[in-house]
Amino acid sequence: MKRLLKFLTLALILITAGCIISGNILVVVKLPDKSLKSNQDTEMWEVSKDNVGDWADHFDDINHIVDVGFTMIITNNNTTDAATGQFYISKRDDFNSAEEVKEDGILLLSGLTVSAGKSLTVKWQESYDYLSNFDALKKYAMTGQFYVYAIGLGESIDIDIRRVAVILTINAKP
């Protein structure tokens, strides 16, 4: 009985100090639909804790970013040519062209090819097949704000990017 009482006392002290309790919070950042009409186009989304209650509410308590994934539907409106796109991340919100994004952004998602007249649905688990620079993405997410850019590759681009979401798993103290 004395052992149990000592253990419970120690556990209560550690819990009160915040040493034991931490938990994962799933944050879904929904982004607006966008379209790319040429290989010179670029579309940008701001991903910010200020737009998501759970992320903002726990921002000061974040221990680390456990996981980051994406979901989206990419539709190729061109009926004759396949379309390929890439996604980049940056702390900058002022890129003016796809070339600037490629030069100064960090490649995030690549290999997204959609057959002519078809759609590609990327689910959270599948986004890892296209993901690169995972550590840079987690670092940016820890700052609470970053920008995602989409660019089209190839000569004939006409794609819609819909139902885009960034999904963060954050480990934080309650």
The pLDDT tens digits for 58-114 are: 899 999 999 999 999 999 999 999 999 999 999 999 999 999 999 999 999 999 999
Higher confidence at residue 103 or residue 156? 103
Rounded Cα gap, residues 123 and 142, in angstroms: 23
Residue in 39, 37, 78, 60 with CA at minimum distance from that of residue 172: 60
Rg (CA), the chain: 20
**pLDDT(123) > 60:** yes
Question: Quick one: pLDDT at residue 18?
Answer: 46
Instruction: Quote the strand ranges of the chain, DSSP E.
Output: 23-31, 34-36, 42-48, 62-76, 83-90, 106-114, 119-122, 145-153, 159-172
Contact 72, 161 (CB under 8 A): yes
Q: Which of 12-21, 25-34, 73-82 has the lowest mean pLDDT?
A: 12-21
Question: Quick one: pLDDT at residue 128?
Answer: 94
Compute the mean pLDDT over every residue in the chain, rounded to the nearest whole number.
Answer: 88
* Domains detected in the chain: 22-172 (2.60.120)
Higher confidence at residue 15 or residue 81? 81
The band of 19, judged by pLDDT with boundaries at 50, 70 and 90, is very low
| H runs (alpha helix) in 79-127 | 98-104
